[in-house]
Amino acid sequence: MPTPLIDVDRCKGCELCVFACPERVLEMSPNINAKGYFFPDVARVEDCTGCRYCLLVCPDTAVQVENKGKTTVRTDGLTETPTTYCPGCTHGVIHRLVGEVIAEMGVRQQTVGVAPVGCSVLAYDFFNCDMQQASHGRAMAVATGIKRGRPDLVVFTYQGDGDLASIGMAETVHAANRGEKITVIFVNNAIYGMTGGQMAPTTLPGQIATTCPTGRDVALAGYPIRVVEMLATLRTPAYLARVSVHEPKAIMNAKKAIRKAFKFQIDKTCFSLIEVVSTCPTGWGQQPHEACEWLEEHMLPYFPLGDVKAPEAAH
Amino acid sequence: MHNELILAGFGGQGVLLIGKLLAYAGMKAGLEVTWMPAYGPEMRGGTCNCTVVLSDRQVGSPVTNRPHGAIVLNLQSIDKFEPLVRPGGILVVNTSLINRPAVRTDLIVVPVAANQIALEAGSAKAANMVALGAFLGASGVVSPDLVRDVLAETFAGRQKIVQLNQVCLSKGFEIGQAYAPAMAGR
Amino acid sequence: MAKKLMKGCEAIGEAAIQCGCRLFFGYPITPQNEIPEYMSARMPQVGGVFVQAESEVAASNMLYGAAGAGRRCFTSSSSPGISLMQEGISYLAGAELPVVIVNIMRAGPGLGGILPSQSDYLQATKGGGHGDYRVLVLAPSTVQEAADLTMEAFDLADKYRNPVMILGDGLIGQMMEPVEFKRRIEPEDLPEKPWATTGAVGRGPNIVNSLYLRAEDLEQHNLALGAKYRAMEAEVRHETYRTDDDPDVLIVAYGTVARIARTSIDNLREKGLKVGLFRPVTLFPYPAAALAAAAARAKHVLVAELSMGQMVEDVRAVVAGRVPVDFFGRCGGMVMTAEELAEQAEKLLAVPA
């Protein structure tokens, strides 16, 4: 009989698994864990179908699933260190996807990641591979240096919207235009998370942020930048795609795109950038599951999902 | 022995090149040498110059405003550098492009129709070599043989160019030599 | 290898190649364009990498990546570009990454001009960017030295895991002089850097980082860096000229001005005046002890710079009032003549000390 297994002490009580479970197997416990968070109880194990949606949406790798005598295991693409992200922040999901991809592709020991400035500044503590910490916006310049110095390495950057699309836009455009054989994971949550919810280059029209308290005024701040579409105008071949992590199926698609992006690098085909539309429950002032709904309702119409550009060789 | 020289003309006349050849030849002669191009605002307007210092001791400043000699290939250059040359110094004047005589009477002025001579030898492009030859003839700072060697090395495999330049250098040298006795005792 | 006539910029580029550097990242700016131009032609010949970065900011961060991956790498720029690189330099110092940065100084502030200057002395020797750090600074005075010190810079960078700056000016960069490359190191002969991000094979992940969120940790890091900078004092280097007879006037100058001063000194000596030169070769660490000793035997110290007076602050700190310290500078791209400088020294001798 399939069973979700909850690592109670990794849990931050975001409830995303509770909402994701199609069979309502999970329920929040009245008890708190060592960190002081409520955690999910497996309330109706008999209803579990083993779909792993709970595992997929968990940002903290706190859920594994046992089924037919086999238990899923946490990827060794990530370190044991719990992330420092807020409860329900989908950064954790994206970390897991990247960690799983480099581990499953067998390249973990030849991978160097580049951490940005922003919420994921401490990413070097979470990815179980060599890491460099870059200054704000320069991750792709740092990655260029690593890759040109050691072309045999697999190099990825992990950047937010302020880092990549604001202060680092020049580095972004030029790394893409040079066709650096690197993989960029671009986390777009439409806000500056770490500094406390200021307007980002991807903040939606009318969306409230601490530096646009009445909502983004496009007459003053312009429209949110669609990064992958903009980069797609460059002639240099690239793999550019937008994915999301607001629900299990989207997360599965996101992983496929990330895998493809690494494959294009490993095959020395092209630059690749995956824009991951993501939530910031704290910055948005929403519950984690509400943030996922808000993302679907407001962000996806503006930031449509799918491959935006693929290298010619792929067709 | 210490010589600070300015070589000046239009961009494209090859003043930087003859400066380099002179410096290279000086190096082969065992001298301390520097070659310094003017790269600042004075380059605007299409003029061009460089300073070459040849010395038997470590070279101090690689630039000078009191050269021991100058090669001027166009009018702007004679206007600018004639007043700076130290008394008794050599001024090689390209009379093909400079339609006024030198004003200074305390200099050894070597007039040479560099463009015409080079044209007769095969190409006006080698006018710079005629002027350099004239300077070597008058000053004796380095042997023209060394410059010929350097030319052969610099344009290795381009025999025609080497030949033309060597011929022009020699023609200039002969003209310059006529002014050399005045240099005695320098 | 036979002597070749080369521009300072080209000699620096060739020296980098001769000592095993195969990565250059840079952005064009006068008067050092000959370096990126040279590297763009030379690097492919030796299997190296030349990247024209989109900006100096990017170039300095490309260095960070390449150095973090354990490779010898360098960049070059001129004053305004070096200002833009300060972000990267601070991070390089914080993450203790060995790189070589060449600054062929031009006159400022702002866009200033493209002519020679020494007005980045304070920026170079006091850190330059944010945070408590120093870079080793070497100031060549000839093209041969530009080559030699560039090669040493790579070794010092590796030895101390610290950025090293070659501080030259437009004259050093643009001038041609005979140069000889005295040794050649192949990249594969360079020692491994076990801390570098080369892939976590048979070990835990290596992390290249300058972030320390706990004040206690950062203080420890700062203290360790401070100790390292003190240890660098073993590298101080200077040169003297005609100081054996304890000259009355000691001219203190570095780089281009030091060579101009030699001419001034020769001319003054011919007149029977006792003048000598103290030339710091390392600007950080500063040859303080040697200068203090030399200055103590002089009646006057005259600091000459192509600036409004920057190194003079260090000289005054070293001399500490024991001997009067005068300053003579030209700036804006104006280069002092040997005569001008000699005149300044002569004036000092005319006044009783």
pLDDT at position C1 is 62
DSSP string, A191-210: SBTTTTSB--TTPPBT--BT
Contact B40 C113 (CB under 8 A): yes
pLDDT-derived band of residue B45, with 50, 70 and 90 as boundaries? low
Residue range B9-18: mean pLDDT, rounded: 92
- C233-287 per-position pLDDT tens digit: 999 999 999 999 999 999 999 999 999 999 999 999 999 999 999 999 999 999 9
Give C267's contacts in chain B (Cβ within 8 Å). none
pLDDT at C263: 94
Mean pLDDT over A203-216 rounds to: 94
Of A122, A130, A147, the CB nearest to C200: A130
User: How do C164-169 and C100-105 pair as beta strands?
Assistant: parallel
Residue B39: which pLDDT band, with cuts at 50, 70 and 90? confident
Sign of CA dihedral C111, C114, C118, C121: positive
- What percent of chain B has pLDDT above 70? 93
CB A150 within 8 A of CB A142: no
Inform me whether the pLDDT recorded for A314 exceeds 60.
Answer: no
> Tens-digit pLDDT profile for chain C (353 aa)?
689 999 999 999 999 999 999 999 999 999 999 999 999 999 999 999 999 999 999 999 999 999 999 999 999 999 999 999 999 999 999 999 999 999 999 999 999 999 999 999 999 999 999 999 999 999 999 999 999 999 999 999 999 999 999 999 999 999 999 999 999 999 999 999 999 999 999 999 999 999 999 999 999 999 999 999 999 999 999 999 999 999 999 999 999 999 999 999 999 999 999 999 999 999 999 999 999 999 999 999 999 999 999 999 999 999 999 999 999 999 999 999 999 999 999 999 986 65
Structural domain spans, chain A: 3-71, 91-314
Confidence of residue A65 (pLDDT cuts 50, 70, 90): very high
pLDDT at C352: 60
**Tokens found for residue C85:** 């690189």
Q: Model confidence at B183, in pLDDT bands (50, 70, 90)? A: very low
Residue A196: pLDDT band with limits 50, 70, 90: confident
In contact, C306 and C278? CB cutoff 8 Å:
no
What CATH architecture does domain C4-200+207-234 belong to? 3-Layer(aba) Sandwich (3.40)
CATH topology of domain A91-314: Rossmann fold (3.40.50)
Q: Which of A129, A133, A170 sits opposite C208 (nearest CB)?
A: A133
Give pLDDT, residue A12: 95
HEC-encoded secondary structure of chain C? CCCEEEEHHHHHHHHHHHCCCCEEEECCCCCCCHHHHHHHHHHHHCCCEEEECCCHHHHHHHHHHHHHCCCCCEEEECHHHHHHHHHHHHHHHHCCCCCEEEEEEECCCCCCCCCECCCCHHHHHCCCCCCCCCCEEECCCCHHHHHHHHHHHHHHHHHHCCCEEEEEEHHHHHCEEEECCCCCCCHHHCCCCCCCCCCCCCCCCCEECCCCCCHHHHHHHHHHHHHHHHHHHHHCCEEEECCCCCCCEEEECCHHHHHHHHHHHHHHHHCCCCEEEEEECEEECCCHHHHHHHHHCCCEEEEEECCCCCHHHHHHHHHCCCCCEEEEECCCCCCCCHHHHHHHHHHHHHCCC
Residue B44 has pLDDT above 70, yes or no: no
Domains of chain B: 2-177 (3.40.920.10)
Mutation site, A132, A184, A234, interface C, largest C CB count within 10 A? A132
DSSP string, A151-178: TTSEEEEEEEHHIIIIITHHHHHHHHHH
Angle in degrees, CA B69, B74, B78, rounded to 5: 45
pLDDT tens figures, A273-304: 999 999 999 999 999 999 999 999 999 999 99
The fraction of chain A above a pLDDT of 90, given in percent, is: 96
Residue B69, strand partner residues: B5, B90
Q: Lowest-pLDDT range, A173-177, B45-49, B110-114, C287-291?
A: B45-49
- Containing B93, the helix (H) or strand (E) segment is strand B90-94
Q: Which residue of B has its CA nearest to C261?
A: B60
pLDDT at B181: 62
- Which residues of A are less than 8 Å from C198 in CB distance? 112, 130, 150, 153
Q: What is the pLDDT of residue A258?
A: 98
Whether residue C285 is preceded by a cis peptide bond, meaning omega within 30 degrees of 0, is yes
Domains of chain C: which residue ranges? 4-200+207-234, 239-350
Q: Is C261 on the interface with B (CB under 8 A)?
A: yes
> Residue A29 CB: number of other CB atoms within 10 A?
18
Question: What is the structure's pLDDT at B12?
Answer: 86
User: What is the identity of the amino acid at A254?
Assistant: A
What is A3-71's CATH number? Answer: 3.30.70.20
- ipTM of the complex model: 0.90
Token pair for A216: 């983004």
Q: pLDDT value at position C244? A: 96
CA C252 vs CA A210, C114, C135, C249: distances in Å: 55, 25, 22, 10
Average pLDDT over residues A258-286: 97
Residue A199: closest CA among A160, A169, A162: A162
Q: What is the rounded CA–CA span in Å between residue C155 and residue C170?
A: 25
Residue with tokens 């071949």: A237
pLDDT at position A312 is: 76
Q: Which of A130, A135, A147 is closest, CB to CB, to C205?
A: A130
CA distance C60 to B24: 36
Token match 């600054």: residue?
C103
pLDDT at C79: 96
DSSP A83: P
What DSSP string runs through C191-219? PP-TTS-S--SSSPPPEE-----SHHHHH
Q: Is pLDDT of B185 > 50?
A: no
Written as six digits, the tokens of A276 are 């991951």
Say whether pLDDT at B11 is over 70. Answer: yes
Phi (first) and psi of residue C129, to 5 degrees: -105, -165
Which structure tokens are listed for C99? 């790189």
Within 13 Å, how many C-alpha atoms sit on residue A122's CB side?
15
Under 8 Å between Cβ of C22 and C48: yes
Look at residue C224 and give its three-state secondary structure.
Answer: helix
pLDDT tens across A134-187, in order? 999 999 999 999 999 999 999 999 999 999 999 999 999 999 999 999 999 999
Specify the CATH number of the domain C239-350.
3.40.50.920
Tell me if A112 and C197 make a contact (CB, 8 A cut-off).
yes
pLDDT at A104 over 50: yes
pLDDT of residue B90 exceeding 70, the answer is: yes
Of A108, A109, A124, the CB nearest to C207: A124
Give the residue, C352 or A59, on which the prediction is more confident: A59
Q: What is the mean pLDDT of chain B?
A: 93
What per-residue confidence (pLDDT) applies to A315?
43
From the list A233, A238, A242, the residue with the least C-alpha distance to A307 is A242
Restricting to C residues 58-77, those with a Cβ less than 8 Å away from any Cβ of A are 58-59, 61-71, 73
